[in-house]
Structure 1
Amino acid sequence: MPKTKSGHRIGIFMRCVAVAAMVMVFFLVFSFQHTFKLMEEHHERHVARDLNDHPSIMSHKVGTEPLEHEEMFANTLKNCLPAEKGKECKTYIPESTERIGIIAPPGLMATYLFKLMNSVVAHGKKSSGSKVTNTTFEIIQTTHIPPYGYGKTHGYTRLVRVVPEPLLVGATDTLVATINNINDYGAKHITLGDIKASLRQQIRYHCRLNHVAAHTALWTIGLEEVAGMRTEDLIDRVQEFLDLERDEAVADKIMEGEANNGGAGENPLSKLEEMYSEGALLLSVAQSTNPGQDILEILDQVLVDEMRMSKNLTNWPCESFWKVGDAENPLELSPIIKRISQDLSPDCGAAFTDCFVQRDKCEYKGDGKCS
């Protein structure tokens, strides 16, 4: 049907409106991205400024190095990899969606792997030999530990846990990440007691995940391994764990996409360096405020005590996240440690989650006594 003059004018008007809307959307997206970038940069500078201005920090430098007995902890970590022969690793699938949890305490530890796994899933497809082919994937980054029980209690098909290497990097990174969530609380308020409590929480976190690995498909990977592995190799590991076709073209597509974005992909090594440096600042401040004490020796003793108390992370149930203060009063926690306890505890109100073990119910309520 031929257009009338008025119809032609309306068409031109509508196209102009559409172009204007697109320009406005682009402007808003750019503005928000710029704002978020400034917020992130401000946070990083704020943490460093807080700590660098601390008196006598230069004469009390401490590095984020492995603790003397850290190998005791590393040797306990378990996997449950379905590809390994003889492994009975359950892969519960709720509502035809494979829910893949990438789990680590608050901080930067899991951010890169989360983004990478989303890219792999977007480009991948189930392997031809897979028992399940008609599912979709949902990649979930979480800090909350799964409740005790099998897949129907925690709702995950597979879990990936990122382990801090060394442990102190995890403890300090979680403290730094949590500062933003507490009003009038800065890095300079973090004490040696907080670092000890955070270290206990990190260890207990992996005690819990070791129990999950007894029945649920779980891949354990170290933070330094994530940062140091070639992207192609890491993608191959992800494909294997998710039971996807081992397709080298996927890596090419992902890296090509990053190149087209001006190399905007996150650099895991630079993030790791950031975690090291911020952790070292926290530890150095703690050392400067505790002259005459070797804080690395103190923190190593925390590790040894935790390993002894948990029988090398085998005791069931694992110790509470809400009971990580010093022995004389383990329930006395600072605001930042309470917030971390909340972030680590099972989220009994989440979708596909069912807490039936008393310890989980107590953790969810913030009850360290659990009497």
Structure 2
Amino acid sequence: MSVPAKSPSFDPADPLGIDDLLEPEDLAVRDTVRSWAADRVLPFVAEWYERGELPEIRELARELGAIGALGMSLDGYGCAGASAVQYGLACLELEAADSGIRSLVSVQGSLAMYAIHRFGSEEQKENWLPRMAAGEVIGCFGLTEPDHGSDPASMRTYAKRDGTDWVLNGRKMWITNGSVAGVAVVWAQTDEGIRGFAVPTDTAGFSAPEIKHKWSLRASVTSELVLDDVRLPADAVLPEVKGLKGPLSCLSHARYGIVWGSMGAARSSFEAALDYARTREQFGRPIGGFQLTQAKLADMAVELYKGILLAHHLGRRMDAGRLRPEQISFGKLNNVREAIEICRTARTILGANGISLEYPVMRHATNLESVLTYEGTVEMHQLVLGKALTGLDAFR
């Protein structure tokens, strides 16, 4: 008669035993990024956030390149060639530090580098990707415009042929990394449909004024892109794609990272609330001993680890080449909404201390308000899923 194996003890830091699903290489990636964030971001991010700037962005980019975090799921050209799950774990750990740091990495790798890697010429790949993977060149991604966010097909930025050159005119808005980028991947209308361009930011007519007075993503560089008669050679266009499928495929890759990253912000807030509940005393005992507080913690844990399981499932599907855009919408819609709710509930447990920058909760909550909107609003992802479920298009 066999003896049943002894059940492992319950781990509040991994209540569902999700680490059992990870390979040693996955854990090594996660621990490397977690250690880097603990050393280089967490001691300083509250001050950066309060000042509304990311003063060491170029140095941070080089350090992120050194640990293989930039374009990490891409192959070749100095990229790490990591799995989708490993990239997701990195996003989770980066956003547990701050959404602005994860946005830096996401825009660099999942938008700018991904666009060049998938749609660029070999010359463009050789020119840009190794330097971007090393963090020597920062990239940005110009799609959203002042009057066209959820409807990119109506963009007004236009590229016109002039001999063998292209001349670009237009504006892009809410562009992460824009003011520090060395290359901007800009999408524009042309006579032959929407095209993408790799625009060196030192080109005459290009400027990227930084957007100030934000109350969210304050430890991040956000800019407007201004293109006034920007003249580019013929080889600046990304040759392998025409139409919206180009930028939308890049956005799908970035949204996947958000599915994981939002759970990092939620985990950080949950852990702050749990620690506070164990030590904060009212009425003669820790508040974690009261039923209402325990109910909040239990509900937060359920949604947090359900969200991480969902992210893990989507990552395995991506690694198998079976992940659909509708499934990414499922994850982005659910996980960001639940992450915000976890932050709000954590704030109630911390009481007045919850609004202080001494704790990460309010910083994460305000950051997530931006994450909720960018890479597709709640409403857009609801419509994506609604169309997939019913077969009826409600977008127009």
* Interval containing the TM-score (normalised by the shorter chain): under 0.3
Larger radius of gyration: 1
TM-score (norm 2): 0.25
